[in-house]
Amino acid sequence: MKPTLFFSALLLSLAAHAQQADHKLVGIWKITAVLDSQDTTSLSSEDATKLVGKTLLIESQHVHFDDADCKNASFKMARHRFYSYFVKQYNFEPKHLPLPDYVQEVAIECASPVGINFIYLRDRNQIVLFWEGFFLNATRQK
């Protein structure tokens, strides 16, 4: 195989792999708490509280939460400096978000927009889901 052809095949392989969910995310997660919210949200605080106990399903190319079904999902990983990124991106003080100084962000794109946009990794067994202006803690289910 010629070097150029090999390199192109390698890049295509890496691009296809990057679009699927990281194995650390795949699984069933349960919402355990509402951590914080932006000033302007799409839900009321009462409606956000009702999400506690619901499950978030993440598969390699599919995400399902509440009434949202993200088919043909693609995932893009980025790393940000926690505090400054959240102040700039979300325009609020993230003092109630228990995330590390450098946070791993997973941007989710769906075939059609359904509201599932960002997940932030806390550790192996906890993530933070950004949903309708609220930050929801979720724990991995066995």
Residue 33 lies in a domain: yes
Contact 80, 120 (CB under 8 A): no
Q: Please, what is the average pLDDT of the chain?
A: 86
Residue 115 lies in a domain: yes
Tell me the per-residue pLDDT of 103-117, one tens digit each, with 9 for 90 and over: 999 999 998 888 889
H-helix or E-strand containing 32? strand 27-37
Expressed as residue numbers, the domain containing 89 is 21-140
Residue 10 lies in a domain: no
Question: What CA dihedral angle connects 83, 22, 128 and 114, to 10 degrees?
Answer: 110
Residue 74 lies in a domain: yes
Residue 15 lies in a domain: no
Residue 49 lies in a domain: yes
Per the structure, the count of domains in the chain is: 1
DSSP-based three-state secondary structure for 110 = coil
Local confidence band at 42 (pLDDT 50, 70, 90 cut-offs): confident
Q: Rounded to an integer, what distance in angstroms lies between the CA atom of residue 35 and that of residue 50?
A: 13
Q: Rounded to an integer, what distance in angstroms lies between the CA atom of residue 111 and that of residue 114?
A: 9
Residue 36 lies in a domain: yes
Tell me the per-residue pLDDT of 50-94, one tens digit each, with 9 for 90 and over: 999 999 999 999 999 999 999 999 999 999 999 999 999 999 899
Residue 5 lies in a domain: no
Contact 72, 117 (CB under 8 A): no
